[in-house]
Structure 1
Amino acid sequence: MSLPSGVVHRFATHVTPVQGQDTTPSFDQARHASLGRRAGSWMAVAFALPFPADREMVARAWLAVVSRHGTLQTVLDGGAGGGEELRLRPVTVGPVGWRVEEPGDGEDPRAVLRRVFDQACCPFATPSHALCLVEPEDPDERPVVVIGLDHSHVDAWSLLVLLRDFCSCLDDLACGLEPGTCLPPAAAFAEHTRELAQRPPAPPRVHDRWAQILAGGDMPVFPLDLGDISAPRPEVVEVRDVLDPDGVAALEDVAAAGGVRMVAVAMAEMTTVFRRHGGVGLRAVLPVHSRHHEKWHDSVGWFITNSVIECSDPDPKACAAAVRDAVELGSHALGPVLEPYGGMPHTPGMFAISWLDHRRLPIDVDLSLAPQHVSAAIRTDGVMVWFVVNGSGLHVRCRYPDTARARVTVGGWLDELCAGLVRRSVDGQGPRARRGVAGPRDPDAATRPTTGPHRSIVPA
């Protein structure tokens, strides 16, 4: 997270219960909440204020955004160790006012924000979201809006919706309009949960595939040595800037020539590297989205569930088939499917992959606002890899436990993976792909040269 030096202001809110309209949370919300009250369960979006606006306008715009989205007007209740049934309770969210978040000794705005969100954006907070404004010391720098929310209410797509909605509401206020006037309607996520539960049961083939996947009782784990992960360790986060826009176009051409999409080429490269070093193929958790109908495109919610991808054959066409299989596995209500196994396991050492191509999303984000996806700093025993494609190219972000062995194993694996993707683009289309074209995600990032794409290790 890149932020100016300055003062962090938090807009505090309160909730008032609405009686008699509680609902059942989704399968994934319930799984998330089952881990209880904890820090580090949030995600956030940061962006520069689009034009000069006082804090009152910022607060009014945010309250208008909250009022648009049903999931931001619910709180989780029960199920936190007390034996009660977990429910989503409806609330109204009202203003309390702005307050300065005083920094502790040596805290910069990033540390202040993470402390605020760890406290305010946990599963059973009321509400479990918060808006902050970082006002810079330098008058030539723009203030930065940071919106944090517990993961139970949002996915990565939702963060883009919130950014767009906030800027639109702020613009409406500046034009003397009711905030939200220019925005499309937003269906509530609870409606999506009800619709999913009412669909026909998953076909036998889906039950059979999940039975095969969970035959050993665990979700996929990272297949290379991570060292001692008997307890969660502080995280290491590495960011690789792999391809610029020309390089992405070249890799897309390679994929199209093989009759697949770029995600299949990435899965093929991972499979190749794992087979080379571990003698195994790719086996990982793969989050898949359920916004298949356009009515959900402008909604905020957790429209993601965890599926599993298995690729033993590194041929891109085989990997494309594996992606389709994983999407199918996550396209049904998973509660009934996984009930015989006690739900989806929480497996130490779990390995997960996320693929997000911002160019394909029906949400326009102004890159001049310097938008940033911000994650909590956590302790972990698993490996998570995010592939992000946007207007600046292909980027790979990886989180893994901080052990001496994992730094070597995962760092080297990332070197080979990213270099392999560059090689595929260059070999297929000539040298129009470049490496390391973007700067570090964080101005304080510690970097070291590599023979592959730019590498930065991002501090918490």
Structure 2
Amino acid sequence: MSLPSGVVHRFATHITPVQGEDTPPSFDQARHASLGRRAGSWMAVAFALPFPADRDQVARAWLAVVARHGTLRTVLEGGEKGDDELRLRPVTVHPLGWQVPPAGPDEDPRAVLRRVFDQACCPFATPSHALCLVEPEDGDERPVVVIGLDHSHVDAWSLLVLLRDFSSCLDDLACGLEPGTCLAPAAAFAEHTRELAERPPAPPRVHGRWAEILADGGMPVFPLDLGDLSTPREEVVEVRDVLDPDGVAALEREAAAGGVRMIALAMAEMTAVFRRRAGVGLRAVLPVHSRHHERWHDSVGWFITNSVIECSDPDPRACAAAVRDAVELGSHALGPILEPYGGMPHTPGMFAISWLDHRRLPIDVDLSLGPQHVSAAIRTDGVMVWFVVNGSGLHVRCRYPDTARARESVGGWLDELCAGLVRRSFNGPGPRARGGAAGPRDPDRDRPAATPRRAIVSA
């Protein structure tokens, strides 16, 4: 997360229960909450203020956003002791005013924000979200809004919705309008959970595929040596700027020529690299979204569930079929499917990949605000890879445990994967890589370099 030097201000709130029926959480919310209160379960979005605004306007815009989205007006209760049922309780969120969190002399605002969100944005916090404003020391820099939320209430798409809605509400205030005037009503995530539960049971083939997956040893694990993972380790996060926009366009043309989408080429390259390095194909957790109806496009919630992708054949068409299979596995209510197995297992060393193409999302986000998706710094024993496509190109972000073996095996795997994607893009004419296809490995570097690789230790 890139922030100006300055003072962090937090807009504090409190809740009161409202008359209304409690609702059950979604399958994934319940799985998330089952791990209990903990730091590092949050995600956040940071962006510059679109125009000069005082703290009162910022607070009013945020309260209007909270009023728009039902999931931001619910809290998780129960389930912590194992003897009561986990429920979502409706609440009203009230303002308490602006506060300055404790900070050391010249302390990095990122460290201050991390403490605030670790405490305020955990599964059973009330509420489990927080708005902060970083006011820079340099008067020529714009203040930065940072909105943190426990993951139980949001996914990556939701962060873009929050950014857009906040900017729209702030603009309304500047025009003398009630905040939210220019936004259409948004459906509540609890309605989506209820609709999913009311759908017909999953077909036998889906039950059968999940049975096969779990019979193979549980959720997929990273097939290369990660070192001693007897306890979770501090994370290493590497970011690769792989292709520029021209390179992405070339990779898309290469995919279209083979009758597939770009995600299939990425899966094919991963499959090929694993076959060379580990003698196995690709087997990974693949989060899939459930916003298939436009009704949910403007909603905030956790519209993501974990599926599994398996690719033994590196042919892009076979990988495209594997993607379709994974989407099908995640398109049904997983609670009834996985109940006989005790739910979705938490497997040490788990390997997960995520694909997000911002250009395909029906959310209009002003890139001049410098939007940043921010993750918590955690301890981990697994490997998570994010492929992100946006207006600046294709980026690969990878989180893995900080061991000497993992730095070597995961780092080398990433080198080969990214070089392969660049190579595939060179099947067409023109420049492809951002800064070149290769560069010296330096996993301790914490700023973007002239090569397509950079590494950071925490978000």
TM-score (norm: length of structure 2):
0.97
Q: Which amino acid letter does the alignment assign opposite residue 454 of structure 2?
A: R
In structure 2, the partner of 1:363 is: 363
- 1:183-202 matches, within 5 Å, as 183-202=183-202
| Counterpart check, 1:380 vs 2:384 | no
Shift of 1:259: 0.2
Q: Which residue is 1:151 aligned to?
A: 151
Aligned to 1:102: 102
Structure 2 counterpart of 1:391, which letter?
G
Deviation at 1:107, TM superposition (A): 2.8
Letter in 2 for 1:385: V
What is the alpha-carbon distance in structure 2 between the residues aligned to residue 181 and residue 273 of structure 1? 51
Deviations 1:242-289 (A, max 9, x none): 000000000000000000000000000000000000000000000000
Q: What RMSD, in angstroms, separates the aligned Cα atoms of the two structures? A: 1.5
Contact 2:235 2:458 in 1 (8 A): no
Secondary structure of the 1:186 match is: coil
In 1: Cα distance, 2:436 partner to 2:122 partner? 36
**Count of matched residue positions in the alignment of Structure 1 and Structure 2:** 453
Q: CA deviation at 1:445?
A: 4.8
Where do 1:55-454 residues align within 5 Å? 55-104=55-104, 107-426=107-426, 428-436=427-435, 445-446=445-446, 453-454=452-453
Cα distance change, pair 105–403 in 1 and its aligned pair in 2 (3 A): farther
Measure how far apart 1:402 and its partner are: 0.1
Q: Distance in 2 between matches of 1:85 and 1:105?
A: 45
Structure 1 CA distance for aligned equivalents of residues 447 and 291 of structure 2: 37
Identify if the C-alpha distance between structure 1 residues 16 and 393 changes in structure 2 by more than 3 Å, giving closer, same or farther.
Answer: same
Percent sequence identity over matched residues?
Answer: 86
Superposition deviation, residue 329 in structure 1: 0.1
Q: Which amino acid letter does the alignment assign opposite residue 182 of structure 2?
A: C
Q: Is the 8 A contact 1:43 1:150 kept in 2?
A: yes
Could you list the per-position Cα deviations for residues 386-428 of structure 1 after superposition, in whole angstroms to 9, with x for gaps in the alignment?
00000000000000000000001100100000000000001x1
8 Å Cα contact 2:243/2:422 also seen in 1: yes
CA distance in 2, matches of 1:216, 1:421: 29
TM-superposed deviation, 1:459: 3.8
Deviation at residue 100 of structure 1 after TM alignment: 0.7
Q: Is the 8 A contact 1:437 1:454 kept in 2?
A: no
Instruction: Note the residue ranges of structure 1 that are not aligned, 5 or more in a row.
Output: 439-443
Report if the CA contact (8 A) 2:376-2:458 is conserved.
Answer: no
Q: Which residue of 2 aligns with 1:456?
A: 455
Per the TM alignment, residue 2 of structure 1 is displaced from its structure 2 partner at its CA by 0.2
Task: Please report the TM-score for the alignment, with normalisation by the length of structure 1.
Answer: 0.96
Q: Say if 2:44 and 2:147, in contact at 8 Å, map to a contact too.
A: yes
1:170-207 Cα shifts (integer Å, max 9, x gaps): 00000000100111210000000000000000000000
Q: Is the 8 A contact 1:160 1:365 kept in 2?
A: yes
Letter in 2 for 1:202: A
Q: Aligned AA for 1:81?
A: K
Deviations 1:225-251 (A, max 9, x none): 000011100000000000000000000
Deviations 1:26-59 (A, max 9, x none): 0000000000000000000000000000000000
- For 1:342 and 1:87, locate their aligned partners in 2 and report how far apart those are by CA, in whole Å: 19
- Note closer, same or farther for the CA distance 1:449–1:95 as it changes in structure 2 (3 Å cut): closer
Does the residue aligned with 1:211 lie in a helix, a strand or coil?
helix
**What amino acid maps onto 1:206 in structure 2?**
V
The 2-side partners of 1:290 and 1:457 are apart by: 31
Q: Is the 8 A contact 1:134 1:145 kept in 2?
A: yes
State the distance in 2 between where 1:392 and 1:449 align: 16
Which amino acid is the alignment partner of residue 109 of structure 1? P
SS of the residue aligned with 1:344? coil
Partner Cα separation in structure 2 for residue 267 and residue 453 of structure 1: 20
Q: Structure 1's 301 and 233: CA in aligned 2 closer, same or farther, altered over 3 A?
A: same
Q: Closer, same or farther in 2 for the Cα pair 1:459/1:86, shift >3 Å?
A: closer
Following superposition, the deviation at residue 448 of structure 1 comes to 9.5
Q: Would the aligned equivalents of 1:435 and 1:454 in 2 still touch at CA under 8 Å?
A: no
CA distance in 2, matches of 1:331, 1:221: 22
Determine the C-alpha separation between the residues in 2 that align with 1:167 and 1:207.
Answer: 44
Structure 1 Cα separation of the partners of residues 112 and 435 of structure 2: 31
